[in-house]
Structure 1
Amino acid sequence: MPVEFRADLHIHSCLSPCADLFMTPRNIVEKAASRGINIVAVCDHNSAENIAVTQEIGKKRGITVIPGMEITSSEEVHVLGFFENLERALDMQTVVYDHLQTGENDEDAFGMQVVVNEEDEVLGFNKRLLIGATDLSINRIIDLIHGFQGLAVASHIDREGFGIIGQLGFIPPDAGFDALEISSRTGFDAAAEKFSMYRAVPWITSSDAHQLEDIGRKTIGLYMNHASFEELGLVLAGADGRKVVP
């Protein structure tokens, strides 16, 4: 019988240039545990290089870490991808890197892109322009995520910047998203009134945390049999009593 797990499915690590340097995998897991969160997804901009270490730390603390990525489309829209395992996330990363805007990250302008180990020691700095966009369309990104057996979610649809409605003015009915994300800035009730035409697709809400204190600012309840990517997919499909609750 499904039971409730609390999840924050949109957290940036110190790999994202716009995230605080204290957003190390260890700190993320510890903060999530302290706030009663059972499941997290690390979704850095256009990269998955801090996922493996976060998963290892999560295992030791009883936190399920779902591999994720926030990909920027050619339309400047953010799309979240969730994956069954690290290998699938890295497969997606390879494609994203091949299509990412050329150039090196300017640390003074955008921030550092730090890859770390379990002890928060710096392993290196990603030099790619992770804050940039890919030349992949929204539809192509969704198709790629699904091709790697992942779940595609429209990021923060209520935000003007990098939200699909803010950029396009609407969500194409045939886009194929598995869920839509409401940001922490908008409550579910307000979103339900404003975006009622999009309720046919499941909604989630997440913190989109870039700082430690923001982790768990918004979470979602997932009624599932156990904490896993497979169960997340079944929740979004509403299978056998599984459901999403604010």
Structure 2
Amino acid sequence: MKKFYTDLHIHIGRTKTGKPVKITGAKSLTFTNIIEHARNKKGLHMIGIIDCHSPEVIVEMEELMLAGEMSELSGGGLEFGGMAVIPGSELEIYDPGTKGPIHVLVFMPNMKTMKEFSAWLSGKMKNVNLSSQRIYATGRELQIKVKELGGLFIPAHVFTPFKSLYGKGVNKSLEEVFDPQLIDGIELGLSSDTNMADGLEELHSYPFLTNSDAHSLAKIAREYQAILMEEASFTNLALGLRGEGGRGILANYGLDPLLGKYHRTVCTDCLQPNNKTGEPCSNCGSMKITRGVADRIAELSSAAQRPNWRPPYIHQVPLEFIPGLGPKLFEKLLWHFGTEMAILHDVPSEAIEQVIPERIAKLIIEAREGRLRLTAGGGGKYGRVDFS
């Protein structure tokens, strides 16, 4: 068994020919750029690329396989220079009688099933070429199709205020939308962590995933997990999520929830903290209030105890959040130490201090040890590191 660093939510911004896939994603987020950056710069061992259902993305994947740069793994998934790639999709459902929209992640074991899934989706959505599109099928219908194809089904960023299972304040249970038996894991999102999510007893039986939801190359691996597996493959991932055969999630690495964009409740117009539901902002008078994840989870929480089997959730500050660590210094660190995973986990503080200014090196080590002071985010604005 080995430890594999894994980020399962990376978007494709554009196709190889420049056509949009995730419209809000960076133009540099092509399939080829993603796999190269995730392996060479980030140091990940397994990634899930969302939007692989897009027909032109499928063509690019097949071209890489024909060129010998990528191949199918016997255990499922694709292999690129020692890194596993799990093809996936993010879809939007809006069931009659429930309040949505709700985003979900699905993953397929191989190219054959992804092509079958793409063909099925083409009859269920208006534009199969784009990411995160509304699918005209219920959540349960989608689950059944995914399981027919041998895939994995994971509700996405379940607490964020928009496009999530719990976020809008209406759905109170996953059973209102999904078949609980056909869920393989729960993605937490950037503004919550394990302890917060385990306030909901109905989530206690599911593994928690912490993924980047990257819309740019720099955001890849801002959250990820370490999974114990025999090899990096689709089959081992599925077994790891179920905790079978000695496999399982060893640790979740995620932003301190304070750094998330939607951690606290704020006025949408002026970002002033505002916890009084239904009342105007005390600062600007606006009635536009974005409910924070922390307050929403507090509303839903009723569990007296937390499950004792959870792996540790390690609060981590991505290097891009470190004040003063610009692109040039970041590239200098990569040149010396190889990958971001190495810098975040392994490189001694003394070695980092020899490469970049001591003040910035100290912040990296304090981030690694959870000693930074943070200011909470909300209303779509990230929290920040307070180093004053």
Which of these residues, 92, 112, 123, is aligned with residue 87 of structure 1?
112
Deviates more, 1:172-181 or 1:63-72: 172-181
By how many angstroms is 1:51 displaced?
A: 4.9
By how many angstroms is 1:49 displaced?
A: 4.1
The whole-number CA distance in structure 1 between the counterparts of 2:239 and 2:42 is 25
> Are residues 208 and 35 of structure 1, via their aligned partners in 2, closer, same or farther at CA, if it must alter by over 3 Å?
same
Q: Which residue of the partner structure matches residue 192 of structure 2? A: 186
Q: Please provide the CA RMSD for this pair.
A: 2.3
Which amino acid counterpart does residue 227 of structure 2 have in structure 1? L
Q: Which residue of the partner structure matches residue 171 of structure 1? A: 174
For the 8 Å contact 2:52–2:58, the answer to whether it is kept is no
By how many angstroms is 1:157 displaced?
A: 0.9
Q: Which residue of the partner structure matches residue 77 of structure 1? A: 102
For the 8 Å contact 1:46–1:70, the answer to whether it is kept is no
Q: Which residue of the partner structure matches residue 268 of structure 2? A: none
Q: Which residue of the partner structure matches residue 11 of structure 1? A: 10
By how many angstroms is 1:144 displaced?
A: 0.6
Q: Does 1:220 align with 2:245?
A: no
Matched residue SS, 2:88: strand
Q: Does 1:25 align with 2:31?
A: yes
By how many angstroms is 1:174 displaced?
A: 3.6
Which of these residues, 37, 47, 55, is aligned with residue 40 of structure 1?
47
TM-score by length of 2: 0.53
By how many angstroms is 1:77 displaced?
A: 1.4
Q: Which residue of the partner structure matches residue 210 of structure 2? A: 205
By how many angstroms is 1:185 displaced?
A: 3.1
Cα displacement string for residues 132-163 of structure 1 (whole angstroms, at most 9, x for unaligned residues): 31111111111110010101111111212111
For the 8 Å contact 1:19–1:211, the answer to whether it is kept is yes
State percent identity of aligned pairs. Answer: 25
The whole-number CA distance in structure 1 between the counterparts of 2:201 and 2:55 is 33
By how many angstroms is 1:131 displaced?
A: 4.8
Q: Which residue of the partner structure matches residue 123 of structure 1? A: none
Structure 2 unpaired stretches of 5+: 14-20, 71-78, 96-100, 253-388
The whole-number CA distance in structure 1 between the counterparts of 2:38 and 2:130 is 28
Greater relative contact order, per chain length (Cα 8 Å cut-off, separation 6+): 1
Which amino acid counterpart does residue 62 of structure 1 have in structure 2? G
Superposed counterparts of 1:30-179, under 5 Å: 30-33=36-39, 34-44=41-51, 47=54, 49-51=56-58, 53=60, 56=65, 57=69, 59-75=79-95, 76-100=101-125, 102=126, 130-167=131-168, 168-172=171-175, 174-175=179-180, 176-179=182-185
For the 8 Å contact 1:12–1:43, the answer to whether it is kept is yes
Cα displacement string for residues 198-236 of structure 1 (whole angstroms, at most 9, x for unaligned residues): 121111110010111100100111111001001111111
By how many angstroms is 1:84 displaced?
A: 0.7
The whole-number CA distance in structure 2 between the counterparts of 1:65 and 1:12 is 13
By how many angstroms is 1:197 displaced?
A: 3.5
Structure 1 unpaired stretches of 5+: 105-125
Which amino acid counterpart does residue 87 of structure 2 have in structure 1? P
TM-score by length of 1: 0.81
The whole-number CA distance in structure 1 between the counterparts of 2:137 and 2:222 is 31
How many residues align structurally?
220
For the 8 Å contact 2:107–2:152, the answer to whether it is kept is yes
> Are residues 131 and 224 of structure 1, via their aligned partners in 2, closer, same or farther at CA, if it must alter by over 3 Å?
closer
For the 8 Å contact 2:47–2:85, the answer to whether it is kept is yes
For the 8 Å contact 1:45–1:131, the answer to whether it is kept is no
> Are residues 60 and 195 of structure 1, via their aligned partners in 2, closer, same or farther at CA, if it must alter by over 3 Å?
same
